[in-house]
Amino acid sequence: MNTAFGLYSATSLATSTRVTAGHSVALTVPQWAGEVAVFRQSFWLPVPALPGALALGLGVAQLQARFAPLRLALGFGRTDWFAPAAPAARGGRRLKMRLPMPVLQFRGGIAQSNRYRYTLHRADGEHVGEEAAASGTTGEDLAEPWIGADFEVVTGAMLVVADLQLAIVVQVAQAQPSLRAQAPARAMAAGVDVQDSVLALETEELSPHFATLSQLVVDGRPTSPRLRLMAERASGEELLWQALQPGDTGTTTLPAEPLADAWAPALERLQRLLGEDDPPLRLRLDCESDAPCSLSLPGLSLRLDAELELLATPARLDFDGHGHRHHTLPLALPAGGAPQALTLSGRVVADAAAAAGAGGSDGRQGALLGSPAAAEGSWRQALDLPAGRVGGVAIAWQPMSDAVTLHWRLLSDGGAVLHAQTVTLPTPAGGWLALRCAPLDLQAGRTWLAVTLSEGSGVWLFGSTGDPARRVAVAGGAEQALPQPLAVHVLAGGADLAAGSRAIALAVGPHSVATTLAPGPLSLGLDAQALNALADAPLAISAGIAASVTLDSARLRLRLP
């Protein structure tokens, strides 16, 4: 992904449009859909180029969208706010607001310090109320906010002459107007003749522009503020997540819950969309309100984590035990992003590599073993052992349960018990079950391995050489035989797996990850140092004993920039 994950104010996702914490904007332009207005600010997020992602999530992430009230000045010429109205009835200004809002004040005049008295009259169609419903002074808030969509505002006759630097009230009446100077000292300094604070002024009718109102100020408050995360696709849009606070909320911040939790279902859905034929082009975050308000982002820090599978198929590495050997397994890290963790999962079978070809042709056929309730009994397989030390046996196993508890015995050809043991082993996937014991000194000759399950079930897979397998008589029945042998491998005794070159070890370049991989299920995490080295050096597994290491999964957690 070439673009850093985060919010952008334009669909181009250019670096110059990246939005950071503290960003603020006023939501003042209504977007009309029929008679419904929405005030919206949209931000865009890049879609990660990770179609094979197993999971997407937010690491240390924060998003705070704060909606707050504002005072909004609206010019009467704005057609997005004002609809065409009937002519004024008494020479005032007829206004019809498309969205009813509390009006706080009116403004007008050439200079900001000019003030006018005005009256407000309710209107309904062609009818305009004769009596004023409210009155006020331009530039000052009304005693009570004006509520009404259709009305007429009529200007009175109050004027402040700003260029004389005086506060002078002009009261227009049928008689001759007069001006009262509220600051006589300043009037005299300006060359105005003031007697008893009253100045007689011969004047004609005031110019029309002095009595022109140009703006009104409304009280904008967040109303049902909400955040909506959308997936923009070629075929249309899809809502992934929404946070909403209904009603007139005043100042409010969304979302209320931690962002990582809030967006978890959305990112899970996004992960599935990435694998479809119509993947998202972009994500869009809409910040909306049903009334004008201000929007700020006091907290903003977005980091996207992805979990990837680096192994397309399981990988098996075999060691023959003839000297110290090592195999490499290149794992290609994706470009971009910072690796956070790598977890290897699989299994380790010690001393079993020599039996790699002992399984059946399809790896599934064999003898079914189950608990006594399943009445499958126990199976036994003949072994021709050379003289020497035996450290146990390994059987090829296809599990039908997550774990098994089994009792295994080594019997002489005459039926004497040479060793007996009960073990419980996890069986997450097919492979070799290592049944280890303290080293046994056995004479050369025929020996029998008998296995009985007390919990769980599975299939003891066929082997390729040896005598047919036999099932011990069940409930007095005759002993039964299979036409094929079951896969068994004898484990050498007396080996110290943790000693020197006989250990199974894993390293990345010069960095040791594990000095001893114990036989059984494998679950191993690589630290940051090993992950950094993995970009330049392959994963290496070494062993000085006959063994097999199977990696079923290599899951990488990657933090996108």
To 5 degrees, how large is the angle CA 420–CA 426–CA 428? Answer: 140
Cis amide bond preceding 48, omega within 30: no
Domain shared by 317 and 207, yes or no? no
Q: Is residue 430 a contact partner of residue 397, using CB atoms and an 8 Å limit?
A: yes
Written as one string, the DSSP assignment of 470-511 is EEPP-TTPPPEE-SSPBPEEEEESS--TTSGGGS-EEEETTE
Distance between CA 488 and CA 469 in Å, rounded? 11
Asked whether residue 1 is domain-assigned, the answer is no
pLDDT in tens, 435-458: 888 888 888 888 889 898 888 888
- Co-location of 58 and 81 in the same domain: no
Q: Do both 207 and 90 map to the same domain?
A: yes
For residues 425 and 347, give the distance between their C-alpha atoms in angstroms, rounded to a whole number. 12
**Could you tell me if residue 421 is inside a domain?**
yes
pTM, entire model: 0.64
The SS3 of residue 157 is coil
Provide the number of structural domains found in the chain: 4
Q: Which domain-ending residue is among 219, 248, 279?
A: 219
Task: For residue 3, tell me if it sits in a domain.
Answer: no
Instruction: Give, for 434, the enclosing helix (H) or strand (E).
Output: strand 431-442
What is the C-alpha to C-alpha distance for residues 95 and 459, in angstroms, rounded to an integer? 86
Domain assignment of residue 326, given as a range:
310-349+496-559
Q: Burial, 353: exposed, middle or buried (Cβ in 10 Å; 0-12, 13-18, 19+)? A: buried
Rounded to the nearest 5 degrees, what angle is found at the Cα of 335, between the Cα atoms of 334 and 337?
90
215 occurs within a structural domain? yes
CB 288, CB 43: distance < 8 Å: no
Residue position matching structure tokens 């064999």:
366
Say yes or no: 115 and 211 in one domain.
Answer: yes
* 503 and 488 both lie in a single domain: no
Please tell me the predicted confidence (pLDDT) of residue 71: 97
Check which CATH number belongs to the domain holding 479 and give it. Answer: 2.60.120
Among residues 305, 307, 287, which one has the least CA distance to residue 296?
A: 287
Looking at 492, 512, 535, the residue that finishes a domain is: 492
Q: Are residues 447 and 406 in the same domain?
A: yes
Q: Are residues 237 and 342 in the same domain?
A: no
Pair 79, 56 in one domain:
no
Question: Which of helix, strand or coil describes residue 534?
Answer: helix
Would 88 be classed as within a structural domain? yes
Please report whether residue 10 resides in a domain. no
Query: Per the structure block, which two tokens stand in for 148?
Result: 């009404």
Show pLDDT as tens, one digit a residue, over the chain (561 residues).
468 899 999 999 999 999 999 999 999 999 999 889 999 999 999 998 776 788 899 977 899 999 999 999 999 999 999 999 888 877 788 999 999 999 999 987 555 566 788 899 999 888 888 899 999 998 899 999 999 999 999 887 554 444 333 333 333 333 333 333 344 444 444 444 444 333 333 333 334 444 478 899 999 999 999 999 999 999 999 999 999 999 988 999 999 999 999 999 999 999 899 888 899 999 999 999 999 999 999 999 998 999 989 888 898 888 876 667 788 887 888 877 888 889 999 988 876 544 444 444 345 688 888 866 444 567 888 887 767 778 788 888 888 888 889 999 998 888 899 999 998 888 877 777 878 888 888 888 888 898 988 888 888 888 766 677 777 655 555 567 777 888 887 776 654 433 344 578 888 877 778 877 877 888 888 877 788 888 788 888 988 777 888 899 999 988 887
Domain boundary among 307, 336, 370: 307
Do 275 and 391 share a domain, yes or no?
no
pLDDT at 497: 38
Q: Is residue 87 located within the same domain as residue 23? A: no
Reference 383, options 295, 447, 461, 313; nearest CA is 447
Do residues 110 and 213 share a domain?
yes
4 lies in some domain: no
288 plus 314 within the same structural domain: no
Please work out, in degrees rounded to the nearest 5, the angle formed at the alpha carbon of residue 116 by the alpha carbons of 111 and 117. 170
Is 2 a member of any domain? no
